[in-house]
Amino acid sequence: MATPVKMPELGESITEGTITRWLKQEGDRVEVDEPLFEVSTDKVDTEVPSPVAGVLQSIRVQADETVEVGAELAVIGTGGAKKAAAPKAEPAEKAEAEEGAAAEAEQAPAPKRREAKPAARARTGDGKAAVVSPLVRRLAREHDVDLSQVEGSGSGGRVRREDVEAYLAGRGKQPAARPAAAAAAPPAAGPRVAVPLAKGLREEVVPATRLRRLIAERMVASLQTSAQLTSAVEVDMTNVMRLRQRAKDAFKQREGVSLSPLPFCILALVAAVRQYPNVNSAMDEDGNLHVYKDVHLGVAVDTPKGLFVPVVKNAGSLNLAGLAKAIADVAARTRDNKIGPDELSGSTITVTNTGSRGVIWDTPIINQPNAAIFATPAIVKRPVVVEDPELGEVVAVRDVMYAVLTYDHRIIDGADAARFLVKIKEVLEEADFESDLGLSRD
């Protein structure tokens, strides 16, 4: 029996993907859920596991080719190893066979079969077409690269990611040539400056992983895409921490997950979004503002491979326990490499819990295309001035946290960001969380 391997659905609005690398070759044995190939889209790069166990009999779509979702990529069978190649025909026999095959081809109608969709092509200055994947197109766009100047090392002269990266590395020595029209226009950004590395030092040169390069590209692209500004307010978390201390043991036993301060902060975030919905939005390429009615929360997760942002869908409809369980679930599955590609896209706002590693202040970079990212640094005990009903102003030890918001200044004004943060502060300091925890007010 033979099982076709098809291009999987990789998330909402994703209709195609580019095969960047096959992790198995024809004739190789493959197990169920063993990584089979790597695929790249405009939104995510990921490994795709094998749907069945068997032998990879044939690969229908080669690296650097772009195909639609559902297209057949390979065939896995339950047979033995790769068949031996047929013996080569003698020159005379080979020529005769080729002539006969050519004659038959002229007489027979062309067979109908679904061809793999080739990667998109960018027209070069000399009229030739360069084949590029979505990842290469994005990389070229982010770094203002004219692909006609890049020599492709892929099959058929395809321009690969490595080719663009090598081209960028050499820019410091050889400035990129531009078409006349582009040269006349002012550049969109300053020139890339090649800074020489330190020499004569003891060092170890470690090649960056594919994921690390992808994270680097997206962080730089985010800063180039939106006007980012960071604001913060100081929040007295004493009441939240006392409630947590009272409820955490019973909560863990009842819900099966630990109760951290993060779900409290997200409840406050959702309350602020309801009052200031433009923070839960995105701007498209035409300058239109998309204000979302549902909160799909991206949660930054630190993994051994690097940073991932899985999404908790409809976070605004969850209570304290629901948020705690949902966050624990996506974080665990992300670290165990069990999160689905469709769960790594579609966020409307993002939270990063930098306090889990002891950081007390942060300026996070926006997770595009979100308008904002909310950071929850560490909660620390500090002496602060508080108002006592009987004694007036007194100094007391309180649990304090900075609530931090990096926002897109194209969409959100500074005053709106301040009001948004003040709302979060009010909820965390004054809201009744006892009902969510099954407690009564003292």
pLDDT for the residue numbered 431: 79
Percent of the chain with pLDDT over 70: 79
Report percent pLDDT > 90 for the chain.
50
**In the predicted model, what is the mean pLDDT of residues 372-389?**
94
The better pLDDT of the pair 162, 345 is held by: 345
DSSP letter at 113? -
Residue 141 — very low, low, confident or very high, per pLDDT cuts 50/70/90? confident
Selected catalytic residue, list 294, 409, 436, 442: 409
CATH of 2-80, one of 3.30.1330.60, 2.130.10.10, 2.60.40.290, 2.40.50.100: 2.40.50.100
**Which token pair is 136?**
């290469």
User: What's the pLDDT score for residue 380?
Assistant: 96
Residue 41: its H or E element: none
Mean pLDDT along residues 293-318? 93
Computed on alpha carbons and rounded to an integer, the radius of gyration of the chain in Å comes to 28
Q: Which of 156-165, 275-284, 347-356, 368-377 has the lowest mean pLDDT?
A: 156-165
Q: Tens digit of pLDDT for each residue in 42-82?
A: 666 778 889 999 999 999 999 888 888 899 999 999 754 44
Q: Contact, 434 vs 261, CB < 8 A?
A: no
Query: CA-CA distance, 326 to 314, in Å (whole number)?
Result: 11
**Looking at 143-152, 292-301, 323-332, which range is the least confident one?**
143-152
Each residue's pLDDT tens digit, 163-205: 787 788 776 444 444 444 333 344 444 445 567 888 888 888 8
Going by pLDDT thresholds of 50, 70 and 90, the confidence category of residue 105 is: very low
> 207 phi and psi, to 5 degrees?
-60, 135
User: Which residues are CB-contacts of 240 (< 8 A; sequence separation ≥ 6)?
Assistant: 261, 264, 399, 428, 433
Question: Which pLDDT score is estimated for 96?
Answer: 42
**3-state DSSP assignment of residue 289:** strand
pLDDT of residue 42: 66
Q: Which of 377, 139, 183, 159 shows the shortest CA–CA distance to 265?
A: 377
What is the structure's pLDDT at 384? Answer: 93
- Among the ranges given (184-188, 253-257, 325-329), the one the predictor scored with the smallest mean pLDDT: 184-188
CA distance 383 to 396: 5
All structural domains of the chain with their residue ranges? 2-80, 228-437
Task: From 268, 269, 260, select the one nearest 378 (Cα to Cα).
Answer: 260
Query: Across residues 109-118, what is the average pLDDT?
Result: 41
Lowest mean pLDDT among 134-143, 274-283, 325-334, 392-401: 134-143
Single pTM value for the model: 0.66
266: which residues sit within 8 A by CB, 6+ positions away?
297, 315, 323, 327, 351
Higher pLDDT, 85 or 336: 336
- Specify the pLDDT at position 100: 40
Average pLDDT, the chain: 81
Residue 139: its H or E element:
helix 134-142
Residue 102 has pLDDT above 70, yes or no: no
**Beta strand pairing status for 301-303 and 297-299?**
unpaired
**Residue whose structure tokens are 């209570």:** 319
**pLDDT value for 158:** 67
409 catalytic residue (yes or no) = yes
Active site residue 413: yes
One of 3.65.10.10, 3.40.50.720, 3.30.559.10, 3.40.50.280 is the CATH number of 228-437, namely: 3.30.559.10
Cis, peptide link before residue 389, omega less than 30° from 0: no
| Per-position DSSP letters for 183-243, written without gaps between them | HHSPPSSPPPP-PPPP-S------PPPHHHHHHHHHHHHHHHHS-EEEEEEEEE-HHHHHH
Candidate list 399, 413, 432, 442, residue with the active-site label? 413
Please give the average per-residue pLDDT across 78-89, as a whole number.
45
Residue 32 has pLDDT above 80, yes or no: yes
Token pair 């960001």 is found at 417
